Structure 1
Amino acid sequence: MLARDLRALRKARGLTLSEIALKLGRSVGWLSQVERGLSTPSIGDLRAFADLFGVPVSLFFGHDVPEEAERGVIVRAGRRRSLGTSDSGLVEELLSPDLGGSFEMLRSEFAPGAELKTPAHRPTEEAGYLVSGRFDIEIDGNWHSLAEGDSFRFDGKPFRWKNSGEEPAVVIWVISPPVY
């Protein structure tokens, strides 16, 4: 649900409704209504939210669930929200129904030669499982080469990655709290 995702992104970044309202040039009341699902933001508003939170605007789409009983519980393979493009070398799919829980789960596919050159550092605990391919990850200055079936976990440490193999690397990645 869009409202829940927007609220989770705001909280994950430690921002108040007032701070967001100021940055977007909107009222606190309107933002509160959006977070409660009482108002629907325009596509321009969604682009502004995406820029503010540093996420692709595509994250806010793909919420339609055909069966109400599955909403917030089940994510069907053909209805995952896709993040990123093949041009970037990293395509991710949100496996979690939304960003409102205590963690998010992603299917990340790293193209051969794809690389995160500058270390990322976020206040999260993260874990991953390499489904296929080969994958190198640097955690807190130490490089680790992973093969199919290997896994990793780290907490609040700088990291970067690369796929120096000739095949795509597929990683199931779990992040707590959600940051996408």
Structure 2
Amino acid sequence: MKEELGQKINDIRNSKGMTLKDLSEKTGLSVGFLSQVERGLTSIAILSLKSIADALDTDLSVFFAPPKKNRSLVLRSYEQESFQYENYSYILSNLSGDMKDRNIEVMLVTILPGDDKGAPAKSPHTGEEFIYVLEGILTLYYNDEEYILYPGDSAHYKATEPHTWRNETNRLVKILSVNTPIIFNS
């Protein structure tokens, strides 16, 4: 555990181009102590670890995340990576593994209540999309039409038309989204 934690600190510090001295100056912890932590030779108090996380401009939880494994076949629930785009009230959880050359992307999308922006309006693109409502009431806009979907409802459509979805209620909406990956041409 100490070795894994130390390696994570070292990896993040190096990715930010910081030296041990830089980290020491930002945290008030000695270079020698930080070196021992990174090499897994000593334990560290949670407050000191929080100080390191702040200095590295990262979340403390990063140090407690399970190590990534090859996820090409099975993705365990605790390995799912979630992210939220700034200024949008939905959370995306990637359910796809790391399989190379895959033809579909699978996401669990949680849309927060009272969403007035929804998913960014998607420009038409190649491929198709499928959504399945797991929880809540979803409003789908597709090609200037509005559709209300309830739990158990689904929609499968060509992505070549303008489309987006929203949660216009006061409860969470969760959907399973399956689509062909958008390929960006340079």
Measured against the shorter chain, the TM-score band is 0.5 to 0.7
Greater shift in the superposed pair: 75-84 or 92-101:
92-101
Q: Deviations over 1:13-63 (max 9, x none)?
A: xxxxxxxxxxxxxxxxxxxxxxxxxxxxx857xxxxxxxxxxxxxxxx987
* Match of residue 80 from structure 2: 80
* Match of residue 161 from structure 2: 157
* Match of residue 176 from structure 1: 180
Greater shift in the superposed pair: 160-169 or 112-121:
112-121
Give the superposition deviation at 1:124.
2.4
Q: Verify the 8 A CA contact 1:103 1:178 in the aligned structure 2.
A: no
SS at match of 1:105: strand
| Pairing 1:112–2:118 present | no
* Residues 170/118 of structure 1: CA separation in 2 closer, same or farther (3 Å cut): closer
The letter of the residue matching 2:177 is: W
Give the superposition deviation at 1:117.
7.3
* Residues 120/109 of structure 1: CA separation in 2 closer, same or farther (3 Å cut): same
Computing the radius of gyration over CA atoms, which structure comes out larger, 1 or 2?
2
For 1:116-155, list aligned pairs within 5 A: 116=118, 119-121=121-123, 122-155=125-158
* Distance in 1 of aligned mates of 2:136 and 2:95: 20
Give the superposition deviation at 1:81.
1.2
Q: Verify the 8 A CA contact 1:107 1:173 in the aligned structure 2.
A: yes
SS at match of 1:78: helix
The letter of the residue matching 1:129 is: Y
* Match of residue 92 from structure 2: 92
**Number of aligned pairs?**
119
* RCO comparison, higher one (Cα < 8 Å, 6+): 1
CA-based RMSD of the aligned residues comes to 2.8
* Match of residue 28 from structure 1: none
Structure 1 spans left out of the alignment, 5+ residues: 1-41, 45-60
* Distance in 1 of aligned mates of 2:81 and 2:171: 23
Give the superposition deviation at 1:160.
1.7
The letter of the residue matching 2:166 is: K
Q: Which runs of 4+ in 1 moved over 6 A?
A: none
* Distance in 2 of aligned mates of 1:139 and 1:99: 30
Structure 2 spans left out of the alignment, 5+ residues: 1-13, 17-64
Query: What percent identity do the matched residue pairs reach?
Result: 18
* Residues 85/107 of structure 1: CA separation in 2 closer, same or farther (3 Å cut): same
* Residues 136/102 of structure 1: CA separation in 2 closer, same or farther (3 Å cut): same
